[in-house]
Amino acid sequence: MLKNKNTIDEIISRFAGKKGSLIPLLQEIQNLEKYLSKETMRYLSEKTGIKLAQIYGVATFYTMFRLKPQGKHIIRVCKGTACHVSNADSILTAIRTSLKLTEEKDTTDNGLFTLMVVACLGCCSLSPVIMIDSNTHGKLTSEKVEQILKKYN
Partner 1 sequence: MSLTIKVGLASCGLAAGAGDVYNAIARYLKNNKLQAHLKQTACIGMCFAEPLMELSHSGKNTITYGRVLPEEVGSLIEAYQSGNPKTDNIILADEIPGSENDNLKNQIRIALRNCGIIDPESLEDYLDRNGYRALEKALRKMSREEVISEIKNSGLRGRGGAGFPTGLKWEFAYMSKDKKKYVVCNADEGDPGAFMDRSVLEGDPHSILEGMAICAYAIGSDEGYIYCRAEYPLAIKRLNIAIKQANDAGYLGRNIHGSIFSFRIHIKEGAGAFVCGEETALMASIEGQRGMPRIRPPFPAQSGLWGHPTNINNVETFANVSWIMLEGSGAYSRFGTEKSKGTKVFALAGKIKNSGLIEVPMGMTLRDVIYKVGNGMLTDKPFKGVQLGGPSGGCLPESLLDTPVDYDSINKTGAIMGSGGMVVMDSGTCMVDVARFFLDFTQKESCGKCTFCRIGTKRMLEILTRITRGEGELEDLDKLEELAVNVIKGSLCGLGQTAPNPVLTTLRYFREEYISHIVEKKCPAGVCKALIKYEIDPEKCVGCTVCTHKCPMACITGERKQIHKIDQEKCIKCGACYEACKFAAIIKS
Q: Which is nearer to partner 1, 37 or 48 (CB)?
A: 48
Q: How far is the CB of 95 from ligand FES (least distance, A)?
A: 15
Among 22, 123, 130, 149, the residue binding ligand FES under the rule CB under 6 A is 123
C-alpha Rg value of the chain to the nearest Å: 18
The answer to whether 71 contacts ligand FES (rule: CB under 6 A) is no
Cα–Cα distance between 92 and 40 in angstroms, integer?
A: 32
The answer to whether 94 contacts ligand FES (rule: CB under 6 A) is no
Q: Which does 27 bind (CB under 5 to 8 A by kind): partner 1, ligand FES, none?
A: partner 1
Cα–Cα distance between 142 and 84 in angstroms, integer?
A: 15
The answer to whether 47 and 88 are in contact (CB under 8 A) is: no
Q: Give me the sign of the Cα torsion angle 50, 38, 110, 65.
A: negative
Residues of this chain that interact with ligand FES (CB under 6 A) are 78, 80-83, 120-124, 127, 129
